[in-house]
Structure 1
Amino acid sequence: MLYNFDRSIDRRPTLSVKWNKEAIKSLCGNPDAEPFWVADMDFSVASEVTQKARILSDHAIYGYPHATNQRQVFCSWAKKRHLLDLQPGQVVISQGVLTSIAILVELLSAEGDGIIIPLPAYQPFIRIVNNLQRTMLGWPLLYDQDTHTFSLDWPLYEELCKRARILIFCSPHNPSGMVFGHQDLIRLCEIAKQNNVVIISDEIHADLSFETHLTLLEPARQVGCEAVVCMAPSKTFNIAGEHYSVTLFNSSELKKRFVTRLEQLFLSTPSLVATTLALASYESGGKWLEELLVYLQKNADLIEKTLQKEVPSVVFLKPRASFIGLLDCSAILHLVERDAQEHPELYDSSASAQGGLLSRFFGQRAGLAFNDGTWFGGEAYRRFVRLNFGTQRSNIERALLHIKQAVAFLETTYR
């Protein structure tokens, strides 16, 4: 391998929110817990990208950027990575996927309109709906407790579409790790078209799929459904702090409205650093990504097999994309509740307002910071925590040991 993903990097002296003690405490009440939460990785970027960043740093002037080849560079990447035939005229560059989604919701709906969000959901989707005073229509995924898998609830989707203006979709899905096939995407678009629902598809994890990723843009075109796709280099190449996104359109009219709104808000030009890193990543990061995906899958395999063998009461929902996955803790939830009754000081919600029962348990008893399942859609998901395994394997091994010890404590103490 050309790249060393096992090299440990101390991020604590930086401005990393993932390693910020106050942020960690807000999740689990323990500021010293080791972070496995927010979705960025503990890997250095590709050396080719580092070289571009170093040249910029050595130059030591950070003026306004001007890069006329950005859309062409992305089209080349999309063709190579996803066999996606795009024209530069379909592509808009802007300052972040969430910014793009919020603007699209604003453009395509009015206050009070229904917005469908599959649940569990990346929480900022819910905030966008609430901030813009739209009506959230939750679309809970079906969950099979025997196979520990999620699936789409089609009858409910059809009912919700009758009351909706927009669907905010996420493909691959965060936090479940689902990857959607052609028939699912066609069906999604057909039902949306029948009800005049516009689909905004967040595909920020697309490049990190462990299998073929099918973007929604082509099924939407085939069906005649209005849809917009949002992508970015941020998760793919671990440059999430550099806000840069790519929004893809089938409709030239909608694209024109979107560009006009970006210009009205002065949001159409990413920074010099963001532009430099994004272009370098798309042009030179392919080999790094190939090796990263192998490393991530081995991390996921390790988590799955170790828990099955040593901690069977905690189940890893092995994702089919990206570096985040859910742990189903249903079998120990009643024991955690007992622990909270016996030691309420460890589960003080005022000390961890962004957490829940399970994130506090793992923070206090295992010294590990996870996103609590309730963050993704409320109490219906309290059985889960989300684990970020985009880190060195030694960190994964240590985390698994701490999980084993914490669960053993529960099972010894309260059974």
Structure 2
Amino acid sequence: MTAFNSASNYGEHAFIKSKPEMLESIYNTVDVFPYWVADMDFQVAEPITQELNRLVERGVYSYEFNEQAVFEALSQWYSKRHGLSLSSDKFVQVPGVLPGIALLLRQFTNEGDGVLIHTPAYHQFANLVNKAGRQVVNSPLINDGQSYQVDFSGMEQQIIDQKVKTMIFCNPHNPTGRVWTPQEIEQVIEIAKRHDVLIISDEVHSDIIFEGHAFTSLTSFDYDKVIALIGSPAKTFGMHSISNGYVYTNNHELFEAFKTNIAAMYLDHGNALTTFATIAAFEKGEEWLDGMLAYLQDTVKWISEFAELRIPQLKVFQPQGTYQVWFDFSGLDFSEEELKNVVFEQAKMGLTPGGWFGAQSPNFMRMNIATSRDNIEQSFTALADAIDGFERGSQTSSTCCDSGASKSCC
């Protein structure tokens, strides 16, 4: 716990989350603590650092192609960690999860096609679809007051009405923290089967699963139109700026077509630092991951207990996975401008505005909790004090960005 509580360097201006120009564009101030980007303040597992140091100290950077060793490490990891049987011969390496989705959309959909996403949704999904010249089809999740559920009938009607042929399915879900059950996934797949819908499954958060829940990959179901972005050390091991993405499908035709296309663009291999750091992470990083998960769960517990005591009007959605916590501020009865004033300007908490994730979430915000408990406690104390001392009509107009058009990858 001590190692994770000593998280530092969050003020490093080379990091996207702390760049003054980014903070200014989002919050109209640089004086906020950045909780808006889904990366970690934690130092990575020691085996990763050791491997990177080995490569740097070697001082020679001749060409190295060791992707198969990465695929074997991934296959063994998912077998041990999740009970998945994944062939090391069915992975395709891509430059990252977002580039992977972008490449899949361009190869397997046509311009103008409808692509379904479940809202509130990670804002870059809509950006990817729009930039590819496809049409975003929003399928709102059902908020039952405690958690979020898939609206299966509504989703199917959207597929029919909008002639949807592709769906981006986020599993676990960002920003709500839902870890979808096998029964829920089965219903999604049955609907996809009925309408011949290709599913691109973003499973990058698959290792950030909390006690009482289990990750289920869409690749484990009997449906041959599933392509999963199943592996990346980015979210699991904090290797956000030195990681690739790994695409997996059981469909031989889709696999060969995608592999051929990626190879034709010479995108199918990574640099040596990323390659060997990834192998070290998946082969030797499990103990670090278990410690990090325990720390995150304690953080969620602390936030929930503090909110119940000091901010009972704040709805904290208990994450089942991911290191994002989704908040509903509507119980405070603030206007949109009042909420921004209290959270951003007075409490100085750089949370992600709910509007980024869909038009139906103006009173919601997302928080990245992969930082030290000291930071969390300081911020929530400031938030509670700001709420207690708030005077209506005292706030100034904010120009905070709510469009989700951030340059951030997270």
Query: Common fold, TM-score beyond 0.5?
Result: yes
- Which residue among 346, 370, 391 is the counterpart of 1:365? 346
Give the SS at the match of 2:280.
Answer: helix
Give the SS at the match of 2:389.
Answer: helix
Give the SS at the match of 1:4.
Answer: helix
In the TM superposition, residue 60 of structure 1 has moved relative to its aligned partner by: 3.1
8 Å CA contact 1:190–1:225 kept in 2: the answer is no
In the TM superposition, residue 26 of structure 1 has moved relative to its aligned partner by: 1.9
Q: Which residue of 2 aligns with 1:354?
A: none
Paired-residue identity, %: 30
Number of residue-to-residue matches in the alignment: 388
The runs of 5 or more residues in structure 2 that have no matched partner are 395-410
Give the SS at the match of 1:102.
Answer: helix
Code of the aligned partner of 1:20: K
Code of the aligned partner of 1:159: Q
Distance 1:32 1:56 in 2: 38
Q: Which residue of 2 aligns with 1:170?
A: 170
Distance 1:361 1:115 in 2: 36
Distance 1:228 1:294 in 2: 31
Q: How does 1:253-268 map to 2 (within 5 A)?
A: 253-268=253-268
Distance 2:42 2:176 in 1: 23
In the TM superposition, residue 13 of structure 1 has moved relative to its aligned partner by: 3.7
8 Å CA contact 1:100–1:230 kept in 2: the answer is yes
Q: Which residue of 2 aligns with 1:382?
A: 362
Distance 2:384 2:249 in 1: 47
- Which residue among 152, 158, 161 is the counterpart of 1:160? 158
Code of the aligned partner of 1:388: N
Change (3 A) 1:359 1:336: closer
Give the SS at the match of 1:326.
Answer: strand
Q: Which residue of 2 aligns with 1:243?
A: 243
> Scaled by the length of structure 1, what TM-score is found?
0.90
Give the SS at the match of 2:382.
Answer: helix
Code of the aligned partner of 1:398: Q
1:66-112 Cα distance to aligned partner (Å, 9 max, x none): 21411111100010111001111221122111111111111211111
8 Å CA contact 2:13–2:20 kept in 1: the answer is no
Q: How does 1:102-141 map to 2 (within 5 A)?
A: 102-141=102-141
365-374 or 263-272, which moves further after superposition?
A: 263-272
274-283 or 35-44, which moves further after superposition?
A: 274-283
The runs of 5 or more residues in structure 1 that have no matched partner are 340-357
Matched, 1:226 2:225: yes
8 Å CA contact 1:189–1:225 kept in 2: the answer is no
Code of the aligned partner of 1:158: E
Q: How does 1:1-20 map to 2 (within 5 A)?
A: 4-13=3-12, 15-20=14-19
Code of the aligned partner of 1:17: I
Distance 1:398 1:13 in 2: 19
Q: Which residue of 2 aligns with 1:346?
A: none
In the TM superposition, residue 180 of structure 1 has moved relative to its aligned partner by: 0.8
Matched, 1:42 2:47: no
Q: Which residue of 1 aligns with 2:384?
A: 404
1:158-213 Cα distance to aligned partner (Å, 9 max, x none): 11222101010000000000011111111111110110101000000000111210
Matched, 1:72 2:72: yes
Change (3 A) 1:150 1:116: same
Q: Which residue of 2 aligns with 1:213?
A: 215
Distance 1:361 1:265 in 2: 48
Distance 1:289 1:359 in 2: 34
8 Å CA contact 1:29–1:364 kept in 2: the answer is no
Change (3 A) 1:274 1:57: same
Change (3 A) 1:360 1:249: farther
Change (3 A) 1:128 1:8: closer
> What is the RMSD of the two structures over their aligned residues, measured on CA atoms?
1.7
392-401 or 27-36, which moves further after superposition?
A: 27-36
Give the SS at the match of 2:169.
Answer: strand
Distance 1:382 1:234 in 2: 29
Give the SS at the match of 1:334.
Answer: coil
Distance 1:214 1:89 in 2: 21
Q: How does 1:287-298 map to 2 (within 5 A)?
A: 287-298=287-298
Change (3 A) 1:13 1:135: closer
Give the SS at the match of 1:241.
Answer: coil
Distance 1:148 1:265 in 2: 46
8 Å CA contact 1:141–1:152 kept in 2: the answer is yes
Q: Which residue of 1 aligns with 2:58?
A: 59
In the TM superposition, residue 4 of structure 1 has moved relative to its aligned partner by: 1.4
1:21-50 Cα distance to aligned partner (Å, 9 max, x none): 221222211202111110001100011111
8 Å CA contact 1:27–1:359 kept in 2: the answer is no
Change (3 A) 1:28 1:71: same
8 Å CA contact 1:109–1:166 kept in 2: the answer is yes
Code of the aligned partner of 2:350: A
In the TM superposition, residue 361 of structure 1 has moved relative to its aligned partner by: 4.1
